[in-house]
Chains A and B, each alone.
Chain A
Amino acid sequence: MTQRNRVLQLIVNNSTVVLFIVVFVVFGLSSPRFFEPDSVINNIIKQSAYTGITAIGMTFVLLTAGIDLSVGSNMYLSSVIAGLLMRSTGMEVLPALLVAVGVGMLYGAFNAFCIVKLKIIPFMVTLGTLVIGRGLGTALTESKQIDFPERMLQFGQTPVLGLPMPVIVLLVVLVIAFVVLTRTSIGRQIYAVGNDIEAAKKAGINTDRVITLVYVFSGFCAGLAGFILISQIGRLDRAFAEGREFDAIAASVLGGTSLFGGKGSIIGAVVGALLTQMVQAGLVFNNVNLYLQPMVRAFIIFIAVFFDSLREANLERLKRRYIRPLSSSAEHTKSPNV
């Protein structure tokens, strides 16, 4: 393999990271303010925390070859219930956070129930609960905006260990998820279920439990991300978090997670979330036409996924079985002409 080939391989194999650096440098050069640490922390890391948290939950689900389309609705509904309780009973912020997370987990548990017990495919279940969740929240609020009390914003604006609160929450979720996936039995079993659910059953894995766990965890992440997002803006309207599930899926897939299950990592999901947010921020910094921004974002996602498919094709080629040395100079007997 030539030197050039090797460099190319390295780029293709780490495409998301390379893309990440390229985008960062390009935006930074065209708009130097982009590089300042404050800007990096506030505009990229903090803003990507919500997508990052939901992408972590989504990665668990995708690893089992499932999908959770109800993430956005879950973020909305769990925050609606927490917000209504805060308003009507004067509940403190931390108990409200627990309520939001609890509702999120129940939401996920309902998804899991439909998938595991009623045996409906995850796509249809979560598409259904996407509508149900949003509808329930709209009915509870009568479609009106909820303004959260002042203490909510105070909570959200308080830095922890010198970092914005959402960043800390993301880090905590990241560490927990990473440890669970790589260091526990159930974490490894998630990969097994995604690879071949029948084989997993035959190997004595309680697949129902594994599947329930990933949807409950995705619900947990959605409830948490929704509440943390509100603690930054202080209010919630009917369109809150609409379509967030797609950001989560995109981030996860950008990070190398396969939609067919069994392949993916938590670190990748977070890098994916950072990349999408960085593109978003960079476009704003460079005053790119507002209407063009979604297209540019989509384009970058396309490039990343394209690199991924190149990588896959490359792996296939490496795996190809040769039965004789590749050099044709090896002496050979002439085959009989018939």
Chain B
Amino acid sequence: MQPVLETRNLSKSFYGIAAVTDVSISIQPGQILGLIGQNGAGKSTLMNLIGGVIQPDSGGMFLYGKPYQPANPAAANRHRIAFIHQELNLFTNMTIAENIFIQGFPTIRYGPFRFVDWAIVKEKTRAVLDEVGLKLSPDTVVDRISPGERQLVEIARALFMDAALIIFDEPTTSLTARETENLFTLMRRLREGGKSIIYISHILKDILHLADSVAIMRDGALVTQEEASAFDINRMISLMVGRTIDNLYPPRTSGPTTTPLMVLDGVSAAGLVENVSFTLHEGEVLGLFGLMGAGRTELARIIFGLDSLEQGHIEINGKRLARQNARDSIRSQLAFVTENRREEGLLMNINISDNTALVNLPHYGRSLLGSIDSGRMISDTQAIVNALQLKSGDIRVQTVKALSGGNQQKVVMAKWLLTQPRVFILDEPTRGIDVGAKYEIYSIIDQLAASGSGVLFISSELEELTGMCDRILVMSRGEIFGEFSRGNYDEESILRAAFHQEEVPAELAHPVEVSTP
């Protein structure tokens, strides 16, 4: 059969560094192609080439056998290729209908003037919203809808332009389990309707679930493209990494003590969390599991003093925390790695050194005027960055934006490590980063615990919690619904607690990622 799209020996380099080398892939009509690879493997560059965001240095692309050279994203759209980016490209100040039609509104002509025909805009918007199963008015302003709904609006836009090929770049990172499942159902339906889909994800299980064919990239080159049935998760990982990974998790080098470090007693805040009590011990890695929207992030924000607590109290080292803010928390040696490193964790356009020194900056002030001792600051940040094996150029020059996801996360960790925290709250620290970088993050967690700090490890990936934690607490609807100790981790019971005693639907057992080889 004639492939919808084919790339032949496609190459692209930036400033002499090859990002995509000699890649030839093809995708058939009515097929889902899963594209996987570590961060920096060249997946995004390849998709940007197909989507017309950048142009190749050599090689060619063929659409239904005809040469295809998109000069910009709009040209790609005209060729019926739609690209749904990881960070969604919607105009939050405008309505759903306007977002779908922004490239060109249907108009009515009055003499020399052309006015937007709002009646048609709304009618057609309603039609595509029905198609993606989104029950919202076309006049809803995008600002007011959830990430999952926004994604559906983007898909509706792709359907509206009658795309034959839709590229999804990590579409599930900000979706709830239910939204993810709806998305998958929709993708399957699109496939039945003859659309082709390229699906990029780090969640290998989803790839196996969905894809008809799988392409694996490593270091800018295509490792292989084969039928999905030819893969299992182990084989995918070893091809991505280029070697077999025996252990996804480092061995824990220490165990928890019985000395309480942080005690929560009856912590409540209306509408967010209810009567949460637990103790974090020195040297302990305490997992906090739950589905999206279970209240884990909300709890973390309350502990760190970003949101207020209405009842109960928190003690650290036996000292009760006064009603606090983030600055007091830092003084009490708390650290908080937020789930959203781009928006909340990093200053994207600032260099690595300044980012790393940010929280600890007061310590670099010289007496009196508080001018910064930049020599000490640079040497400290360089030392910690080296210790974490961060791959970068000159840390005084290179901006964080230019780093891969895994290295960005290391900068966030380094920033907090400089403050020598006793309690480390990590909210989804491995989200969107590749297998190798995850391992390094896990090793840092282990070292922290070994040095006597306590780690509160929040995650939606049950596997990594069972792999790393001494104990796991399960949250649901703002309450703690279960506690499991190492040695009797049972995935089904943990999930059951997360679903708050409901029967676990097999399809929804999605947060569990890669199964351990």
Contacts and interface: CB of A to CB of B under 8 A. Distances in A.
Interface string B114-131: 111000000000000000
A320 to B, nearest CB: 8
B115 A184 contact: yes
B294 interface: yes
Interface stretch (B89-97, B322-330, B411-419): B89-97
Contacts of A6: none
Interface in B234-286: 268, 270-272, 274-279
Contacts of B73: 201-204
Interface stretch (A86-94, A103-111, A153-161, A323-331): A323-331
B91 A185 contact: no
B292 to A, nearest CB: 10
A177 B348 CA distance: 38
A163 B205 CA distance: 73
A251 B91 CA distance: 25
B74 interface: yes
A191 B277 contact: no
Contact of A194 (B90, B93, B482): B93
A196 interface: yes
A322 B274 CA distance: 12
Interface string A173-184: 000000100011
A337 B298 CA distance: 20
Interface in B139-192: 143-144
Contact of A204 (B77, B270, B276): B77
A34 to B, nearest CB: 38
Contacts of B114: 184-185
Given A324-B272, A333-B479, A338 B277 contact: yes
Nearest to A325: B271
Interface string B468-492: 0000000001111111000000000
Given A204-B72, A319-B144, A328 B91 contact: no
Interface in B63-103: 72-74, 77, 85, 89-94, 98, 102-103
Interface string A260-277: 001100000000000000
- For chain A, give the interface size range: 35 or more
Interface string A308-338: 0000000000010111111010001111111
A280 interface: no
A324 B115 contact: no
A205 B98 CA distance: 13
B272 A262 contact: no
Interface residues of B, number: 44
Contact of B294 (A321, A323, A335, A338): A323
Nearest to B105: A185
Contacts of A179: 115
B270 A328 contact: yes
Contacts of A189: 102
A332 B294 CA distance: 15
A329 to B, nearest CB: 11
Given A179-B115, A322-B271, A323-B477, A192 B91 contact: yes
Contacts of A338: 277-279, 483
A40 to B, nearest CB: 33
B321 interface: no
Contact of A332 (B77, B115, B143, B479): B479
A319 B144 CA distance: 7
B242 to A, nearest CB: 33
Contact of A324 (B92, B271, B480): B271
A326 B271 contact: yes
A285 B104 CA distance: 51
A317 to B, nearest CB: 11
A204 B78 CA distance: 10
A195 interface: yes
A199 interface: yes
B91 A335 contact: no
B277 A323 contact: no
Contacts of B480: 335-336
A27 B275 CA distance: 55
Interface string B329-369: 00000000000000000000000000000000000000000
Interface in B388-408: none
A192 B77 CA distance: 18
Given A191-B91, A194-B93, A333-B481, A323 B293 contact: yes
Contacts of A199: 89-91
A188 interface: yes
18 contacts: A179-B115, A184-B107, A188-B102, A192-B98, A194-B93, A195-B94, A202-B53, A203-B102, A323-B293, A323-B298, A323-B478, A324-B479, A332-B275, A335-B276, A335-B277, A335-B481, A336-B278, A338-B279
Given A324-B479, A336-B482, 16 more contacts: A183-B116, A185-B114, A185-B116, A191-B91, A191-B98, A192-B91, A196-B89, A196-B92, A200-B102, A203-B89, A204-B74, A262-B91, A324-B271, A324-B274, A325-B271, A337-B278
